[in-house]
Amino acid sequence: MTLKTTLAALLVSTIATGAFAANKMDGNPMVGGAEMFATKNIVENAVNSADHTTLVAAVKQAGLVDTLMSEGPFTVFAPTNAAFDMISKDSLGALMMDENKAQLATILTCHVVAANAMSDAIAGMIADDGGEHDVATVGGCVLKAKMTGGKITLTDEQGRVANVTIADVKQSNGVIHVIDRVLLPAM
């Protein structure tokens, strides 16, 4: 079988399963090697991303699965596994313990906004506010959103900066923006 034949067979298979058409209709980027469907909720999509296994495990441990599967709308700034890898293994391990469930939930909800905020809306708020917009999260944190080099950045209450690396991943109950750093509340 030639490469051309293999690619043709793969394309036919993809179209036959509807995956290609659904993703085109959703207009969503791939995340963590997986298609993201606007017809699925945040949790249903996140569990398929190879780049978000630590986030999914943390959401489960914190007891936030039902919340993020609910109607919303939610905007989730979703840190990648590489973002979690910036936290020491001991600190992350301690956060994942049952006795620290409340602290983990607070950290995770500092990544969630009770709105469906696409990147163009966030950029507009940043512009309207003179270059920096306060973003109040479900967890009670206030993030500072700015535009840097044409991309959205978020500064947490400890002064740590996360970059939005993939924006506008539409969900049935909101939107995900992939970020490269875990955001932390003031401790």
Domain ranges (residues) in the chain: 3-179
What DSSP designation does 135 have?
A: E
The string of pLDDT tens digits covering residues 81-123 is 999 999 999 999 999 999 999 999 999 999 999 999 999 999 9
Residue 2 has pLDDT above 60, yes or no: no
Cα–Cα dist 123/141, whole Å: 20
Confidence of residue 57 (pLDDT cuts 50, 70, 90): very high
Tokens standing for residue 131: 């270059």
Q: Provide the whole-model pTM.
A: 0.84
Distances (CA, A) of 52 to 78, 141, 145, 155: 8, 22, 22, 21
What DSSP designation does 117 have?
A: -
| Phi, psi of 134, rounded to the nearest 5 degrees | -75, 130
Listed in sequence order, the residues at least 6 apart from 95 whose beta carbon sits closer than 8 Å to its beta carbon are 58, 87, 103, 104, 107
Centre a 10 Å sphere on the Cβ of residue 47 and count the other Cβ atoms it contains: 16
DSSP three-state, residue 14: helix
Which of 15-19, 53-57, 96-100 has the least mean pLDDT? 15-19
> CATH topology for 3-179?
FAS1 domain (2.30.180)
Confidence of residue 26 (pLDDT cuts 50, 70, 90): low
